[in-house]
Every structure is written in C-alpha cells, then in structure tokens.
A = this chain, B = another copy of it.
Amino acid sequence: MNAKPLSPRELRIWYAFLSMGEDVLERVGGDIARATGLSGPEFGVLSRLAGYGKGEMRQQELATVMGWEKSRLSHQLSRMEKRKLVERLSGDGRSTIIALTKIGREKLEAALPIRAESVRRNLLSRLTAEQVEMIIRVSNLLDDED
C-alpha cells in the first residue's frame, strides 16, 4: 500500500478526464442560467418534479431519484421556496409533499429547449457513435461497482 505517484502520462489522462466533465457542465449550466435564471440544482429539482405525475412528489422520494441526501434537498427546497419555484404541502404528518408552482413550471418549460440545444451543441454533436457507446459503457461500468 505505497503506490508510486501517477506518471506524467497517467496524470494527463486524469486531468483530461476531469476537464472533459467540468467544461461541458459549465457551458450547459451557463446557457440555462443566462436564458432563464435557473441554476443547475434548481433545474434538476424542477425537471424531476415535472417528470413524475402532476408535478408533486414526496420529499423523500425526490431525494432518492436525485441521489441527494435529505439535508441537501431540504436546504435546496428552502431556497427554492423563497423564490416561489416550489411549495411544501403538508403530507400525512411525518412526510412532506413538494409541488411545482406556476412560476416553477413556466421557468422549467422555458429551460427545456435551451438545455436540449446546449447539450446537442456542446456534447452530442461532437461525439461519434463509438464515443457515445463508450460513454454509456463506462458509465454503466462505474455505476455497478462497489
């Protein structure tokens, strides 16, 4: 357990891997923010809410589909509630229902085509079919592990 530090070649691969993700994410997030004022996390919450049923979901379920801890989601929802993007409806006592507001839905509708255009321009249009296959394969690979 005293591995040799990464070689220059290994370092290059590692940095390339890191910058690949950061860069694309920043571009797409920036496009959405400039067009609608929504941040990445805000967009994420709104799109999940809209994607299930009528734009309502139990908070715990929302946390699960987003892959977030409960406290992270609670903080995020508090900020979004202040900005009228979502509202908290009292559930059955120990649970809480999160619902899209009118404003939240409108902003989301405006953001969807922007994201589509940006993802296509910044990522999809630059990938060959083999590269797409690889992304899916590597991603599945990594998801499955311990």
Contact = CB atoms under 8 A, between A and B. Distances in A.
A135 B10 contact: no
Given A18-B25, A21-B21, A5 B139 contact: no
Contact of A132 (B1, B13, B139): B13
Nearest to A24: B142
Contact of A127 (B19, B113, B122, B138): B138
Contacts of A4: 113, 116
Given A18-B25, A24-B142, A126-B141, A10 B136 contact: no
Of A1, A135, A136, most buried by chain B (CB within 10 Å of CB) is A135
A61 interface: no
Interface residues of A, number: 45
Binding site secondary structure of chain A: helix
- Copies of this protein in the assembly total 2
B19 A113 contact: no
A89 interface: no
A5 B112 CA distance: 6
A24 B17 contact: yes
A142 B5 contact: no
Interface string A98-113: 0000000000000011
Given A16-B140, A17-B139, 6 more contacts: A3-B116, A6-B119, A16-B135, A17-B21, A17-B135, A131-B134
30 contacts: A1-B117, A2-B113, A3-B113, A3-B116, A3-B120, A4-B116, A5-B113, A5-B115, A6-B112, A6-B115, A6-B119, A10-B116, A10-B119, A10-B120, A10-B124, A13-B127, A13-B136, A14-B124, A16-B136, A16-B139, A17-B24, A17-B139, A18-B25, A19-B143, A20-B139, A21-B22, A21-B25, A24-B142, A126-B141, A130-B134
